[in-house]
Structure 1
């Protein structure tokens, strides 16, 4: 059975992460769709989620007041990550497939243009660029199915962060083994 503090903090921070993610997406959407392809926005978002994860685990470790095991730390982070990702994906599905489906088409074109430019900068032959763009035309990363598939990768990526943070935040043994 999961400790109530772990469950409560995981869900609370998960909702917070989901809301922050939705606000970031809504802000970018309102300002300029080109920002979705900006590397610094992606890095800033990762940094925000990392900071929220550190705050979550620090708070939970203080509230537990006993041994904060690796499993407890990882479980806390994992609950928050899954709840946050689900809220974020739900918001993205609503925004790009219900509220403004034309935005997903615009984003798809932006992504293809950036991919083409990047491949040209790296000296890729025209045939390789054309092949890559043809494959990209077959799917749209903002469709409901692709967003749901992406959530699986987000959970895996978040789990890796969670493992690292859990190792850092677990209570250290006072005995040398």
Structure 2
């Protein structure tokens, strides 16, 4: 494997993971209700898109513009795996060992927020009750759920990475 690809993937993976930890920590310290704020998720996604584009453009530039689809995807994938691993490890430690009560508070807030949103959309009471029951049964911050979530995160990231790799790969010389 090319050293530039490996170095950039690892460095940006660490950056992404550390920023994710900082975001989670700030939300935890400032106001735990922010864990249910939709705009936090949107801002996080924008950050991850920007950092991924910076990663791939920097790597392409360091490779003198010769960047295959496989190399672009590999760079992104290394970064995504490391970032997800750091983030999930921190969340497992925070919500299962440091402050397990926080996950119960977030679950209550999520149930309240979900019920309010479903009521706004005119969802029948029976469906709202089903949704709330599902949330009650699920331990979204439990170790197993966090690990399952990381698998889905890796799958989603892989799809996103394939799209970015297609965008950032070099065009064949006959197309230039």
Q: Establish whether TM, by shorter chain, passes 0.5.
A: yes
The aligned residue for residue 20 of structure 1 is 19
The aligned residue for residue 113 of structure 1 is 112
Deviations 1:143-176 (A, max 9, x none): 1111111111111111122111111110111314
SS at match of 1:141: coil
**TM superposition score normalised by structure 2:** 0.96
Deviations 1:60-114 (A, max 9, x none): 1111126200110011001100100000000000111111000000001111111
The aligned residue for residue 131 of structure 2 is 132
Q: How many residue pairs were aligned?
A: 175
Runs of 4+ deviating beyond 4 Å: none
- Which stretch of the first structure deviates more once superposed, 12-21 or 151-160? 151-160
| Structure 1 segment 61-100 matched on structure 2, within 5 A | 61-65=60-64, 67-100=66-99
Question: Are residue 122 (structure 1) and residue 124 (structure 2) matched?
Answer: no
Question: Are residue 154 (structure 1) and residue 153 (structure 2) matched?
Answer: yes
The aligned residue for residue 174 of structure 2 is 175
**TM superposition score normalised by structure 1:** 0.95
Structure 2, unpaired ranges of 5+: none
C-alpha separation in 2, matches of 1:62 and 1:134: 51
Question: Are residue 164 (structure 1) and residue 176 (structure 2) matched?
Answer: no
The aligned residue for residue 35 of structure 2 is 36
